[in-house]
Structure 1
């Protein structure tokens, strides 16, 4: 018992020290970067407002959500706090400005996070299609993957093609250098990541796992995650030379050996430092490698930061 208490005290001290590191870095270095003062007047159409004829796909800094479809995961006040990573519905996230969705599914086409379940993936698809019908130039990346420990739904690739076919951007390395307007009316990069079934084939309507990469660091320590994100970003090519999407996630994750297991309380250790991360990318000379930037519990300020940097890139200021 005494060793467990000692361990928890040590963990709390580590967390407190790491939060202090990020706070002091923000105090001393600030969080400004090219485009940081930009705030879209219409976040639902922020890509349109930047002019689709001028913005290239590889210039976009894509605001994304981690475990996107968990707003109604599990049971309220019982299991939900341990798995909920977003409070908004998929449609609300898209209207807020989210442009990358991370959807985990299991055998029966229900969205899940570990062993906890949410709604049918049909709800996700309907929200996506509703948003697409209400907009004209907004492009999204829809990542669908089989949750760890599960099998994929039967014929799920065919399901995605039938449901989203008219919007799907076919797999093609050339699109990264194209402008948004050159892809329209196609507006969805659908990345399908099955665990056991064959990956989508080259040239098809779905993109395989090789086109959306990241380096997930499983920690609840905010400065550790911040610096790990930076370390892996340094190892990437510039976005203009890249033929795939690379994601950095401004999140930290509850750990089983820590008494604090609610996602919101844990991830709030790093959420206030999204703009600091972008600013540090410039300070450390790797801003030209930042592409997808994802978060838990996305908000308007996070979207504005990504949209602002996208605007600065499109105007040649970053």
Structure 2
């Protein structure tokens, strides 16, 4: 078992690599960002003067000093890059979505197991402030039996930017961009659903790919609605959750992404959300519900990379297990099939509502 600092190679220095991965790797105990794959060495060195820059992923994978490879590139490159990194004997972290298809995800899992290497997916929004708070409320049964969860990730971006996510190609569009976040959070709370129904839309004037979705997940006695839009100028609730004892409502997005974009790095109080949630509870069967403001617990994206280091150095559990990432891919792909067929589709893995939180 290793006890030294792990050397990390980052593939890609676009929005994901530069904004999320590089600063979190740099801040995580036990990890050292050693090299970055990029065609723009000046851009990387402006931020990271001490880090080596190589122009090809193969050259990074060939370096004996690299322990962990992080892949933060366009979605359709995740599978071939992860495959090559595993072939080179590296541990691997892949930005979400894991791959383009479920079959690719399963192939990478089998390859990692055969090579006895870790592979994990950066599902960072498990450590959003509002989601951590909601997870605690569900685990503690504060809301009673949850009967409805609405999770929205809305933006107002009427102008379509010139980037690969907005152009025709495998893995483009809002379903592959924001769907993995919302699907992963739902399955973290309630396990795999029995069925999924997805509707995709292209709503902006110049949009080429889907930029709006509504997904419904079927559980026993629970309706889950997941929605994302690029034309929502009026604020919508990030979460609206109803149970037999009360409701939880939260507006505003977790602040960590904006703080990373502003160049901040994790520090004490870094993940605190200034926007308060609303918790409305009835103390008894005949009591009137009473609303109060609730400060959400701090978010902590750094927990993901700290967990990766702890797993590789001290054999603790992986913060995002590969089977969990494959469940997300199952939902992502089955959702697409549902949209194409225009009907609900059942999931073989789904078994209704599981008390996931009470077994962790």
Q: TM-score, normalised by structure 1?
A: 0.29
Task: Kindly name which structure, 1 or 2, has the bigger radius of gyration based on alpha carbons.
Answer: 2
Say which structure, 1 or 2, has more relative contact order (CA 8 Å, 6+ apart): 1
> Which has the larger share of helix?
1
